[in-house]
Chains A and B, each alone.
Chain A
């Protein structure tokens, strides 16, 4: 018996055994450059929620980036090196985000990191990202903590909350020919939900209108209480923030009460599963704003290439999901950034290249993806989308550039 009642010997023996037991795996040991760049491959990190509450959308995003990288690897990689994605599951737990970030910084070093779809975790990591060595390129969510002021270590990769609110409110105000829109925002009772409700309120006020925030639980099984508040408020339209379940519950409850009020959702919840879960009469009143073009919307060159690869890699069912498109676009962003940084790419060279300004042409899959030294948000333009139940395809309204007028 050791001091304090702990049997020290067995503990040490166990530790030594574990260490030695792992020795057969030494085949994995090889030269490990601090930047994740090897002679034949480059390690790139992805941190996303793959088995937690937001995995329904983030796992689809991850499939998108994986498929693009696989396509590039199958074509020979970049400058003779294949891209090896190291995907970390953060289960929407901020402490796991920190563990994953530290791991990808030094434990299994990568050239850069994409994803990071947990806003709270991103804020918690903001100071580490800002003073860190690993650039984050193509995030799934973008917070002010890492973009204001911009840092050379962070580059966003998804539509911003503020822009989503502005375009959604602006487009519906114009479509319904409203002088002063009256809006109800149904949002998750989370930090992100409250922030989105504030943005919708600001956008409504800009048009001389007003808005009311109505919270809903992430695990809600019914939206009757929210619909009763909507009935009492008599809004011109409803904005919704949440997971894929939120608009489904809301639209179903609204249909039950015979409420014909139009509803618009944010990009994350513009997915086929929402429309497929709703009857056409309810789903036709639901639209969403997005900076990514859902699969099947048009026949652009980017869309054709994405569809072909999705079919080839067994992800045909995902290609209509804007989360898949977003992942695919970030795959393109990552590979083109690595290629542009040169054959002797390092983290330093990549950051130097990105900080000067960088853009990619997604060939119709999204609004322009462009970074300047002053703005690292990446994708600024959005447009409204709906779903045609007759053709089972998404429909876009106008061009991304036309929707610029709604943004401030």
Chain B
């Protein structure tokens, strides 16, 4: 049983009063989220300058790109963790978002919010098409169909790019929301933060609906779900449409953030990172997607920072780090992920759940 499912099914009809802690923590969390970009930009907290390592070698651009990736991870977790449909074609939806963004934004010059809405619609339509094989095939065969989708869409993007743009890529103008121009990492941060919260809350709330529960039922036992009157075929397509719409929007945001995209950006590695993120974070846990994205995208930077720190010393290990830092960083990161998967097969969300359960048992 996944985290969300557990949370939903175990939720009591009337929740006990939370007292003052929840609102206070919420205010503190919002304050921290609002102050974080200023810390990362100014490299100081309340006027006290911090070293790069005190800020864990993390910058605001990393956080922004992590949030864009988080949208992709949330959408894949919804599709795979909640609806039980395994896909390795998520880069294709990103690429479709990039292409839709290029058509609506770069070529037609439509306003940024309209571009995002258009991307969502194109993404949803692509998702429905991508989900059609799920009506006939299952398991690895279906995974292969998403794999094929990846190459079809990337080929389409490549042909589109060479037909209408330069070989070096598709240019994107600066995104604007009315008079608010997203021309700095700081502005992007607040825009992405709001968007991520909206998507997260929207997905989470959708799990509490009849369809959300039906999706989890379909994932857990398709035959039983069908017997209970759920039309699993329609549900699968809906899951795909919703997931790919979010991923396409993320692809458009990625394109605007990068200011230029190339079909080469959307590799199969790019697609597999989303699978890795939801496995690390916790399959079926939306909150786990956040943790997974942070681990996948920020941890290498943290390790690199520490490696650079140690590498600047005169020790033998320091010399080794200086000579082979990228390889050692990858080795350490890969090892940490393997250790995590061995000891926490449910991902980081699984660790959180077991800690919570232990604590609650002690309290009783």
B51:A124 contact, CB within 8 angstroms: no
Which residues of A lie under 8 Å from residue B52 when comparing CB positions? 28, 107-108
Could you tell me the distance in whole angstroms from the C-beta of B162 to the nearest C-beta in chain A? 7
Complex Cα distance, B302 from A114, in Å, reads 23
B169:A124 contact, CB within 8 angstroms: yes
Q: Is B332 an interface residue (CB 8 A)?
A: no
The binding surface of chain B is classed by DSSP as helix
A22:B162 contact, CB within 8 angstroms: no
Complex Cα distance, B61 from A95, in Å, reads 9
Complex Cα distance, B325 from A145, in Å, reads 31
Chain B residue nearest in CB terms to A188 = B264
Per-residue CB contact flags for chain A residues 271-298 toward chain B (1 = under 8 Å, else 0) read 0000000000000000000000000000
Complex Cα distance, B185 from A6, in Å, reads 26
B32:A15 contact, CB within 8 angstroms: yes
Which residues of A lie under 8 Å from residue B56 when comparing CB positions? 18, 22
B262:A127 contact, CB within 8 angstroms: no
Complex Cα distance, B57 from A107, in Å, reads 8
Asked, given contacts A5-B7, A29-B49, whether A99 binds B65 with beta carbons under 8 Å apart, the answer is yes
Complex Cα distance, B41 from A19, in Å, reads 16
Complex Cα distance, B52 from A91, in Å, reads 22
B49:A32 contact, CB within 8 angstroms: yes
B49:A94 contact, CB within 8 angstroms: no
Q: Is A103 an interface residue (CB 8 A)?
A: yes
Q: Is A3 an interface residue (CB 8 A)?
A: yes
Of B23-31, B98-106, B227-235, the stretch lying at the interface with chain A is B23-31
Q: Is A73 an interface residue (CB 8 A)?
A: no
Per-residue CB contact flags for chain A residues 208-222 toward chain B (1 = under 8 Å, else 0) read 000000000000000
Quick one: which of A32, A107, A192 contacts B167, CB cutoff 8 A?
A192
A23:B265 contact, CB within 8 angstroms: no
Quick one: which of B62, B185, B287, B309 contacts A25, CB cutoff 8 A?
B309
Asked, given contacts A25-B54, A191-B168, A191-B169, whether A120 binds B264 with beta carbons under 8 Å apart, the answer is yes
Which residues of B lie under 8 Å from residue A94 when comparing CB positions? 258, 261-262, 265
Quick one: which of B43, B50, B168, B325 contacts A120, CB cutoff 8 A?
B168
Which residues of A lie under 8 Å from residue B185 when comparing CB positions? 102
Which residues of B lie under 8 Å from residue A3 when comparing CB positions? 22, 26
B22:A29 contact, CB within 8 angstroms: no
Chain B CB within 10 A, most for which of A15, A30, A94 = A94
Q: Is A1 an interface residue (CB 8 A)?
A: yes
Asked, given contacts A89-B325, A120-B168, A190-B264, whether A2 binds B309 with beta carbons under 8 Å apart, the answer is no
Q: Is A232 an interface residue (CB 8 A)?
A: no
Asked, given contacts A51-B326, A120-B168, whether A2 binds B29 with beta carbons under 8 Å apart, the answer is yes
Which residues of B lie under 8 Å from residue A4 when comparing CB positions? 200-201, 204
Which residues of A lie under 8 Å from residue B130 when comparing CB positions? none
Q: Is B327 an interface residue (CB 8 A)?
A: yes
Complex Cα distance, B287 from A29, in Å, reads 34
Could you tell me the distance in whole angstroms from the C-beta of B203 to the nearest C-beta in chain A? 10
A123:B169 contact, CB within 8 angstroms: yes
Asked, given contacts A8-B25, A192-B167, whether A23 binds B54 with beta carbons under 8 Å apart, the answer is yes
Q: Is B358 an interface residue (CB 8 A)?
A: no
Chain B residue nearest in CB terms to A90 = B326
Asked, given contacts A12-B28, A127-B259, whether A103 binds B265 with beta carbons under 8 Å apart, the answer is no
A124:B327 contact, CB within 8 angstroms: no
B260:A2 contact, CB within 8 angstroms: no
CB within 8 Å of A: which B121-167 residues: 161-162, 167
A50:B326 contact, CB within 8 angstroms: yes
A194:B167 contact, CB within 8 angstroms: yes
Per-residue CB contact flags for chain B residues 286-308 toward chain A (1 = under 8 Å, else 0) read 01000000000000010010001
B49:A5 contact, CB within 8 angstroms: no
Q: Is B18 an interface residue (CB 8 A)?
A: yes
Which residues of B lie under 8 Å from residue A126 when comparing CB positions? 260
A95:B258 contact, CB within 8 angstroms: yes
User: Chain A: interface residue count, which band?
Assistant: 35 or more
Q: Is A398 an interface residue (CB 8 A)?
A: no
A120:B259 contact, CB within 8 angstroms: no
Which residues of B lie under 8 Å from residue A107 when comparing CB positions? 43, 52, 55, 57, 59
Which residues of A lie under 8 Å from residue B239 when comparing CB positions? none
Q: Is A149 an interface residue (CB 8 A)?
A: no
Per-residue CB contact flags for chain B residues 56-70 toward chain A (1 = under 8 Å, else 0) read 110111100100000
Chain A CB within 10 A, most for which of B21, B54, B265 = B54
Complex Cα distance, B259 from A128, in Å, reads 9
Per-residue CB contact flags for chain B residues 232-276 toward chain A (1 = under 8 Å, else 0) read 000000000000000000000010001111111100000000000
Q: Is B53 an interface residue (CB 8 A)?
A: yes
Chain A residue nearest in CB terms to B24 = A8
Complex Cα distance, B25 from A319, in Å, reads 59
CB within 8 Å of A: which B306-364 residues: 308-309, 325-327, 329-330, 352, 356
Chain B CB within 10 A, most for which of A5, A7, A18, A25 = A5
B53:A22 contact, CB within 8 angstroms: yes
Chain A residue nearest in CB terms to B52 = A108
Chain B residue nearest in CB terms to A101 = B61
A102:B61 contact, CB within 8 angstroms: yes
Could you tell me the distance in whole angstroms from the C-beta of B196 to the nearest C-beta in chain A? 12
Chain A residue nearest in CB terms to B8 = A5
A2:B26 contact, CB within 8 angstroms: yes
Asked, given contacts A120-B168, A120-B262, whether A7 binds B54 with beta carbons under 8 Å apart, the answer is no
B62:A99 contact, CB within 8 angstroms: yes
Which residues of B lie under 8 Å from residue A1 when comparing CB positions? 18, 22
Chain A residue nearest in CB terms to B16 = A1
Per-residue CB contact flags for chain B residues 1-22 toward chain A (1 = under 8 Å, else 0) read 0000001000000000010011
Asked, given contacts A4-B200, A8-B29, A107-B52, whether A119 binds B168 with beta carbons under 8 Å apart, the answer is yes
Which residues of A lie under 8 Å from residue B325 when comparing CB positions? 50, 87, 89
B168:A2 contact, CB within 8 angstroms: no
Which residues of B lie under 8 Å from residue A6 when comparing CB positions? 287
B168:A143 contact, CB within 8 angstroms: yes
Complex Cα distance, B25 from A50, in Å, reads 43
Chain B positions near chain A (C-beta within 8 angstroms): 7, 18, 21-22, 25-26, 28-29, 32, 41, 43, 49-57, 59-62, 65, 161-162, 167-169, 185, 200-201, 204, 254, 258-265, 287, 301, 304, 308-309, 325-327, 329-330, 352, 356
18 contacts between A and B (CB under 8 A): A1-B22, A2-B25, A3-B26, A6-B287, A19-B54, A22-B55, A23-B54, A28-B309, A29-B50, A29-B54, A87-B325, A89-B326, A98-B258, A120-B260, A124-B259, A190-B264, A191-B263, A198-B167
